[in-house]
Amino acid sequence: MIYFDNAATTLPKSKKALRAYKKAFQSCGNASRGGHPYAAHASELLYLCRERLAERFGTEPERVVLTMNATHAINLAIKGIIREGDVLISDLEHNAVYRPLYALEKQGRIRIRSFHVNIGDDEATVQNFQNALDENVRACVMLHASNICGRVLPLPALSEAAKQAGVPLICDASQTAGHFDLRLRELPGLTALCMPGHKGLYGPLGTGALLVSPYFEGVLETLLEGGSGSFSADPEMPALLPERLEAGTMNAPAFAALAAAVAEDGQTGKKEEQIFSYLLSGLRATSGVTLYGAPTREGMPYCPILLFNIDGKDSETVAAALAEADVCVRAGLHCSPLAHRALGTPDGGAVRISLSKHNTFGEAERFLAILSRQITR
């Protein structure tokens, strides 16, 4: 089996994470709900996860809110920070960003505006962002890298522009967290970083995190209310993070597993980059293949993701044929209709392949051979 669907979730997962989950599953009580050893152990594991995420991404443990996934984290950030006015997004956004904002727009609270990401020119992208960043913009929300073509946005320059304009910037790091070095302390214009635990961090499904900048001084509005295990006499959620945004029982075993996974090094390495380049060259050399949003020159910052179609065949048909040949890919719109529109794919979307540290050159060679056979059928 060739697994090329790592942008959806990475496989295989961390073995250390699996061991940590199994151990915690039978030893955790309900965190912050009692002074006995089982409850205390759960609290310790949750704090360990916060501590490791904070160290990895440059903030403080108390500013790490543990979530169900990146979408949960993005919703917490958007609905916790944004009140009204124009909200600026890129034209490559995932529905995890677009739909929460659309819901607020339907309520008459905000207006969504977008800027164009120039795939081949970071300076043009930054200029487009700055041109759109007028006095009506009250917040910016954007991905760090596209989930369909892998293009990494110039976050340092974009966050600096947001800082100069005095508007908060929320970043969806679903495709880059764990793969790239990201530190909130080094990006003072970045207000919040949202991420899943099950992609580049190789942790379990059903985990994620919202990391709030150490420079942010505001109070986030709540998305959920309920038991927090602290300040129980108060009818409102606690004012302090992370308790303010963590209502209800926390999944301590899953976050124990995530803590174990975060301790491992999962950053994109030379091997992944080389396999990515090999696949890119192979697809470009294959007659009948159309690529979308691919690198136009060496050295451009990309996650190892490629988007393509076979001429005359819809993406779902190609993906189904690859699945029959034991190749796992994803076809369609990938929950990103805005990005597909920006990149000019057909109505049925395109086929996406995405790599992890576990993929090999042998798999890449077999994939290209299998794809060539599909073209000639």
- Domains of the chain (ranges; CATH) run 2-11+267-376 (3.90.1150.10), 15-262 (3.40.640.10)
Query: Using the 8-state DSSP alphabet, how is residue 288 labeled?
Result: T
Q: Per the structure block, which two tokens stand in for 202?
A: 């190789």
Average pLDDT, the chain: 95
CA distances from 161 to 215, 223, 245, 319 (A): 16, 28, 28, 40
Confidence bin at 375 (pLDDT 50/70/90)? confident
Residue 280 backbone phi and psi in degrees, to 5: -60, -45
Q: What is the pLDDT of residue 267?
A: 62
Confidence bin at 331 (pLDDT 50/70/90)? very high
Q: What is the pLDDT of residue 43?
A: 92
**Average pLDDT of span 310-317:** 96
> Quick check: 232 pLDDT over 90?
no
Q: What is the pLDDT of residue 270?
A: 82
- Whether residue 242 is preceded by a cis peptide bond, meaning omega within 30 degrees of 0, is yes
Helix (H) or strand (E) holding 159: helix 155-165
Q: What is the pLDDT of residue 266?
A: 59
Contact 210, 50 (CB under 8 A): no
> Quick check: 54 pLDDT over 70?
yes
**Average pLDDT of span 233-253:** 91
> Quick check: 376 pLDDT over 90?
no
Query: Using the 8-state DSSP alphabet, how is residue 14 labeled?
Result: P
Q: What is the pLDDT of residue 15?
A: 92
> Quick check: 82 pLDDT over 70?
yes
The 10s digit of each residue's pLDDT in 197-222 is 999 999 999 999 999 999 999 999 99
Contact 189, 161 (CB under 8 A): yes
The full length of the chain comes to: 377
Cβ neighbours of residue 58 under 8 Å, at least 6 residues apart? 182, 183, 184, 185, 186, 214
Confidence bin at 268 (pLDDT 50/70/90)? low
Q: Per the structure block, which two tokens stand in for 70?
A: 């990146």
Confidence bin at 265 (pLDDT 50/70/90)? low
Helix (H) or strand (E) holding 133: none
**Average pLDDT of span 245-257:** 94
Place of tokens 């207006």: 111
Question: pLDDT over 70 for what percent of the chain?
Answer: 99
**Average pLDDT of span 323-335:** 98
How far is it, in rounded angstroms, from Cα 74 to Cα 151? 20
pTM for the model stands at 0.96
> Quick check: 314 pLDDT over 80?
yes
How far is it, in rounded angstroms, from Cα 32 to Cα 368? 52
Q: What is the pLDDT of residue 35?
A: 82
**Average pLDDT of span 180-186:** 95
**Average pLDDT of span 117-136:** 97
**Average pLDDT of span 257-265:** 91
How far is it, in rounded angstroms, from Cα 109 to Cα 15? 45
Sheet containing strand 330-332, edge to edge, reads 289-291, 305-310, 350-354, 330-332
**Average pLDDT of span 22-47:** 89
Question: pLDDT over 90 for what percent of the chain?
Answer: 87
| Alpha-helix residue ranges (DSSP H) falling in 26-121 | 37-57, 70-81, 95-106
Outline where DSSP puts E strands in the chain: 2-3, 64-67, 85-90, 110-115, 137-143, 169-172, 192-196, 208-212, 289-291, 305-310, 327-328, 330-332, 350-354
Closest CA to 224 of 199, 194, 249: 249
> Quick check: 353 pLDDT over 70?
yes
Other beta carbons less than 10 A from residue 164's beta carbon:
11
Q: What is Dmax (Cα atoms) for the chain? A: 70
Contact 242, 66 (CB under 8 A): yes
Residue 118 backbone phi and psi in degrees, to 5: -85, 110
How far is it, in rounded angstroms, from Cα 53 to Cα 66? 10
